[in-house]
Amino acid sequence: MFTKKISEAEKEAARKKVREVFGECREITDKPLRPFMLKWLSAFAPDMEYYDAKSFCLPRRMYQNNLWHAFSFQKTDCYMGALANEAFAGGLPGTCYIFLNREQLLFQIPDGGSLTPELVSACDNLIVTDKDFSCTYVYTGKEDIGPYFKTAEGLSDAFVEAGEDEPEPTEGFLVPDMDNEPPFVL
């Protein structure tokens, strides 16, 4: 989708909304966002080809890409809709990251256990992940797309029981492994 550049006023409005909704949080401005995005893709879409990640998920000059396109374009398996909300109902334990995909803003909150799907739905195009990148919840803000939930280990039998077919991983060039890179640490 062709997109216009996000203005500083729009970013400031998003910052204000995050602070209103989530309370105590800290914006991460001292780290570049690309390592965070690559680590997220490596953890939650490890079977995705690098070309697809660049084309659909990572920001580009003239197109608005979203990390969650890995789920919406079915490039990897995940819980969707009511199953995603059910899996996320208890929040995520410990410190969490909140990533506003459209505005390209990253926040850290101390207690992800207080998060609920209803609370997260106050903001659009938002990704929540725990500090260890072991699970993630995505709220797209679109009625017919998402929400999504996935653990880094994959899905349990509940995915198959929900009547969904688990996609087969494809061979090819995968998203770079961030384990060999300096970790995204605060």
pLDDT in tens, 96-154: 999 998 888 999 999 999 999 999 999 888 999 999 999 999 998 888 888 999 988 76
Residue 154 burial (C-beta neighbours within 10 Å; 0-12, 13-18, 19+): middle
d(CA 127, CA 33): 13
pLDDT digits (tens, 9 = 90+) for 157-177: 333 223 333 333 333 333 334
Q: Average pLDDT, whole number, for the chain?
A: 76
pLDDT of residue 158: 32
More confident residue, 34 or 155: 34
pLDDT of 131 reads 92
Res 54: pLDDT: 67
Q: What angle do CA 93, 137, 116 make, to 5 degrees?
A: 60
* For residue 55, pLDDT beyond 60: yes
pLDDT, position 62: 55
Q: Give the per-residue pLDDT at 106.
A: 95
pLDDT at 24 over 50: yes
23 pLDDT above the threshold of 60: yes
Burial class (CB in 10 A: 0-12, 13-18, 19+), 93: middle
Instruction: Report CA-CA distances (Å) from 106 to 4, 37, 169, 180.
Output: 20, 10, 29, 23
Name the band, by pLDDT with cuts 50, 70 and 90, for residue 53. low
Residue 181, pLDDT above cutoff 50: no
Average pLDDT over residues 6-15: 90
pLDDT for 155 beyond 50: no
- Residue 131, Cβ density class (10 Å: 0-12 exposed, 13-18 middle, ≥19 buried): middle
Q: What sections of 75-173 are H helices per DSSP?
A: 82-88, 117-120, 157-161
Residues 39 and 186: their CA atoms lie apart, in Å, by 14
Tell me the domain boundaries of the chain. Answer: 8-152
Residue of 1 and 112 predicted with greater confidence:
112
